[in-house]
Structure 1
């Protein structure tokens, strides 16, 4: 749902007050285009905001959403691939999706469009979380403006969402402890996930409460429903979407490569700072894409940011200065911090000299093993724009733990090269310099 918030205020059905339904991926397996938490809004006139699969199942989801608006209930739809029926609605990529579809409206326990519009008022990069009830008997949601500090166990809003008003204090306390153990890692990690909470032994399930659970405002209660003898209560199912403030990327080096990396990094969602000790370089208009520009000695700036608590385990450090008097003290500082990624630009020759200098400066071999140098994946990049793609590709590979091609730091030989013949003769590479030769080392 959070992915739709930036576009909601300009969506005509939301502005005009049309009836709408929200469809959300709550489970996915195999090869699927979008992850759990991805949502799509459908209006009563068939207008759509968002996408779940890039076109494979949208038609069927719209049809179900219109039915949901007509009958006022919610439903869970399953989509997969059928070899037996080539014309069946499904995912041709072979994956499987479970989609929860729920109307927006004024019914008790339901999601309300005006509440989502209030949710959309938060800054796009600000921390925010949404916990929604998506089981058959539940509905509603709780908005959490500061997921990093949210205490589940003491949340009256979440207890209302689970319908615990009619459950004994000890049993409710045990359920809230179980909820905290599963929900808080997702909230604090900025992740999306589905949490199922089994009811405490000996009490009615929160999920079999006749649901008037909390709305987005966090108010509401549940009324227990008697269980048939021999039946097991259904677990409460919560969809958690958590978004932390944008991770920082610190780019050191006001040069062509830094200018190309800034917009590429912002496409990946980073808050980007450019730092250079030389005012004549850092003050150029071409670095306006940066969220912040700092004119300071690089290692001093990084140490000050770390001391102020503005560097954390998600921070990325990219050293593009290509100058030992900046690089060595900066890398020594960076490799001593708990950050996600430290990379440095340079040839293999300069990397070897850099390693020797860092060892002499007291950097340990274990710290050096964290250094991505030369920075980037071996894509054959030459121009600053191509190098920016190479660097961001390695960042994605490092975040996911998988890479389609090896990092430059794991290879040998020249890092700049060209194919003998242009691969796309009709589209020559404009502005490319001749390949720079350098001595390979092993």
Structure 2
């Protein structure tokens, strides 16, 4: 589930009243894209629409909406903000922000949206910014839709040039009821990662992946390794990580869904080879990366080819793993390099690019950060 939605559901279920701030439109250069969200309560603000004075002003307006909404519970407001000298930001563009006051009565559509995303289904959320304050409309997205979208359809009452409503109305909508309509396609953002190896690099990588929109199955047959690297309290922070102390780690390959992202960094070369063969025989993976040196890659290619693995599939194996150009081999640096490579691949897959469009560490003319076989795995 997307982090903002999880937090929103939790706050509303607790009985809190909040303002959901959405970047409804971007004009020119801006710090965040359309559809980005922030949640503002009376005392806190969660997530970010870009920071700086823009965010400070957005929080200020959101709390005005919270106060004014006592008399108008389903209050909504649009504001256009130029990212120039008036806000002390040099982006040069402008954004239109949508403010929605939400309370426990909105929990229904929030819970429905959360269930759809958890099931891998896209949804379209429509919000009107008129005096009638129509309920949020949630409909199913197009089958196979994987691209988020956010559109603001202007009504007669919103002056997009000045970011103001007609005289006498400060809500950004027309008193006649002709108002803007926000429609956004919200798609599941989480990708599935199966990580083999609970050594120093694996533990460092898990801590990075815990902050990203993914679901991680962390596999190692050595149960003590998990306790060595993670205090019990730390496990509570890894809400998107499933720890799997498994004497038969190969099972995790078979149980993973299609388009999974596999990362192999165990302490045992024989185990790495067995996992590599099993993953490559599947063929339906979105990414397969393995820690190691160029020598290890050549040895594995020779052995896997002898076992009948198609050379085209071998070419998809990222080994050495990690983005290019980083020489430091400490676990934390390797983890960031691998996470960056994962994110780059996720972006390529979602935009419909092929693997050939994403540089592979196997084709680089200089050594990436993880061109090694060491004991830190």
Scaled by the length of structure 2, the TM-score of the pair is: 0.68
The Cα of 1:368 is off from its aligned counterpart by: 2.0
- After TM superposition, the structure 1 = structure 2 runs for residues 279-318 of structure 1, keeping only pairs within 5 Å, are 279=222, 285-286=228-229, 289=235, 291-303=242-254, 305=255, 310-313=256-259, 315-318=260-263
- Structure 1 residue 394 and structure 2 residue 338: aligned? no
Which residue is 1:155 aligned to?
none
Contact 1:8 1:117 in 2 (8 A): no
The CA deviation string for residues 261-309 of structure 1, in whole angstroms up to 9 with x for no partner, is 2222222233322334x44766754367551214244444412x1xxxx
Q: Secondary structure at the match of 1:94?
A: coil
Contact 2:21 2:39 in 1 (8 A): yes
Q: Given the superposition, is the C-alpha separation of residues 2 and 99 from structure 1 closer, same or farther in structure 2, using an over 3 Å criterion?
A: farther
Which residue is 2:186 aligned to?
241
1:194 to 146, 150, 164: 150
| Aligned counterparts of 1:362 and 1:292: Cα–Cα separation in 2 | 32
- After TM superposition, the structure 1 = structure 2 runs for residues 335-374 of structure 1, keeping only pairs within 5 Å, are 335=280, 336-374=282-320
The Cα of 1:57 is off from its aligned counterpart by: 1.7
- The Cα RMSD (Å) is 4.4
| Aligned counterparts of 2:109 and 2:128: Cα–Cα separation in 1 | 24
Q: Secondary structure at the match of 1:346?
A: coil
Which residue is 1:325 aligned to?
270
- Structure 1 residue 115 and structure 2 residue 106: aligned? yes
The CA deviation string for residues 109-156 of structure 1, in whole angstroms up to 9 with x for no partner, is xx5444249947969x9458764323444742246xxxxxxxxxxxxx
Which residue is 1:184 aligned to?
142
Q: Secondary structure at the match of 2:90?
A: coil
Q: Given the superposition, is the C-alpha separation of residues 26 and 236 from structure 1 closer, same or farther in structure 2, using an over 3 Å criterion?
A: closer
2:202 to 258, 264, 287: 258
Which residue is 2:364 aligned to?
411
| Aligned counterparts of 1:299 and 1:369: Cα–Cα separation in 2 | 22
Which residue is 1:224 aligned to?
none
2:52 to 43, 52, 55: 55
1:132 to 125, 132, 140: 125
| Aligned counterparts of 2:80 and 2:217: Cα–Cα separation in 1 | 44
Contact 2:337 2:369 in 1 (8 A): no
Q: Secondary structure at the match of 1:357?
A: helix
The CA deviation string for residues 210-241 of structure 1, in whole angstroms up to 9 with x for no partner, is xxxxxxxxxxxxxxxxxxxxxxx999642233
Which residue is 1:34 aligned to?
32
Q: Secondary structure at the match of 2:87?
A: coil
| Aligned counterparts of 1:343 and 1:16: Cα–Cα separation in 2 | 45
| Aligned counterparts of 1:416 and 1:185: Cα–Cα separation in 2 | 40
The Cα of 1:436 is off from its aligned counterpart by: 8.5
| Aligned counterparts of 1:62 and 1:280: Cα–Cα separation in 2 | 46
| Aligned counterparts of 1:9 and 1:52: Cα–Cα separation in 2 | 19
| Aligned counterparts of 1:26 and 1:317: Cα–Cα separation in 2 | 35
Q: Secondary structure at the match of 1:272?
A: strand
| Count of residue correspondences | 325
Q: Secondary structure at the match of 2:210?
A: helix
Q: Which structure would you say has the larger RCO, counting Cα contacts within 8 Å and 6 or more residues apart? A: 2
Q: Secondary structure at the match of 2:285?
A: coil
- Structure 1 residue 385 and structure 2 residue 332: aligned? yes
- For structure 1, the residue ranges without an aligned partner over 5 or more in a row are 105-110, 144-157, 159-179, 198-206, 209-232, 418-434, 438-442
Contact 1:282 1:295 in 2 (8 A): no
The CA deviation string for residues 58-114 of structure 1, in whole angstroms up to 9 with x for no partner, is 3443555426936956443223334xxx3x237422343221223x3xxxxxx5444
Q: Secondary structure at the match of 1:24?
A: strand
Larger Rg: 1
